Amino acid sequence: MRPKLGDRVLISRRQHPTSRDTVEGVVAQILTKTPTHPRGIKVRLKSGEVGRVRVILPTASQATWRARAGSPPPASGYRP
C-alpha cells in the first residue's frame, strides 16, 4: 500500500537500509515515482529524514472507525 502525505509511518533510514532500526514520523514528501517498489516506497518525513516505508501506522480516525464497525474492544481487562 502506498502512503499518502500526512500519514504516520515507520521507515528504515537511508543511511542504514539493512538495519532493523526504524524511525516514526509523518510523511512530508513521497520520493518514489512508481506506485510500488520491491524495497519499499521512499519518503521524506517532516523531520527531514529520508527512508523506505516499512509500516503505515493507523490514524486515530481509522481506530475510531474500526471501533464503530463492531471490532471487539482491546483486551484491557474490560468486562461488560
Tell me which long-range contacts 36-41 makes (C-beta under 8 A, separation of at least 24).
36/2, 40/12, 41/2, 41/3
pLDDT digits (tens, 9 = 90+) for 31-52: 999 999 999 999 999 999 999 9
Confidence (pTM)? 0.69
Q: How confident is the model at residue 57 (pLDDT cuts 50, 70, 90)?
A: very high
pLDDT at 76: 52
pLDDT at 21: 84
Give the CA distances from residue 30 to residues 22, 27, 66, 76, in Å, rounded to whole numbers and listed in that order: 17, 7, 27, 37
pLDDT at 1: 78
